[in-house]
Amino acid sequence: MDLAQGVAQGFIDLDKLELLDDGQAVKYLEALRGIGRWSAEYVLLRGLGRWRIFPGDDVGARRRLQAWLALPEPLDYQEVGRLLAGWQPFGGLVYFHLLLSHLAEEGKLAP
């Protein structure tokens, strides 16, 4: 079932989702057809305002985080979580900072 369709038809209970911790909410969303960890984390961050969440499967964001922190080695999902632990509850804001900085560098944002 499509996530938006499930919400619209009442099969996905956003009120219940609000009561779950981040890990439980990711698992709840991952149980839906077509929703993986990245999609679930992005929905929680962008759609539900869970500012703690940095979608660690976003390869571009991992590369930008690596460059921003001047780290020599590529990051994996677990390493992203470890690095951002000290910045919680603002991991998602770091994600958006890196995304918007990248878009600005590419000239895709108005000055």
Query: Mean pLDDT across the stretch 4-14?
Result: 81
Question: What's the burial of 38, exposed, middle or buried (CB within 10 Å: 0-12/13-18/19+)?
Answer: middle
**Predicted local confidence at residue 13, as pLDDT:** 81
Query: Mean pLDDT across the stretch 61-73?
Result: 97
Query: Mean pLDDT across the stretch 14-36?
Result: 91
**Predicted local confidence at residue 16, as pLDDT:** 85
Query: Mean pLDDT across the stretch 25-52?
Result: 93
Q: What's the mean pLDDT when you consider all of the chain?
A: 92
Confidence band (pLDDT; 50, 70, 90) for 1? low
Percentages of the chain per state (helix, strand, coil), in multiples of 5: 60, 0, 40
Q: What's the length of the chain?
A: 111
Distances (CA, A) of 35 to 1, 9, 58, 110: 9, 17, 14, 32
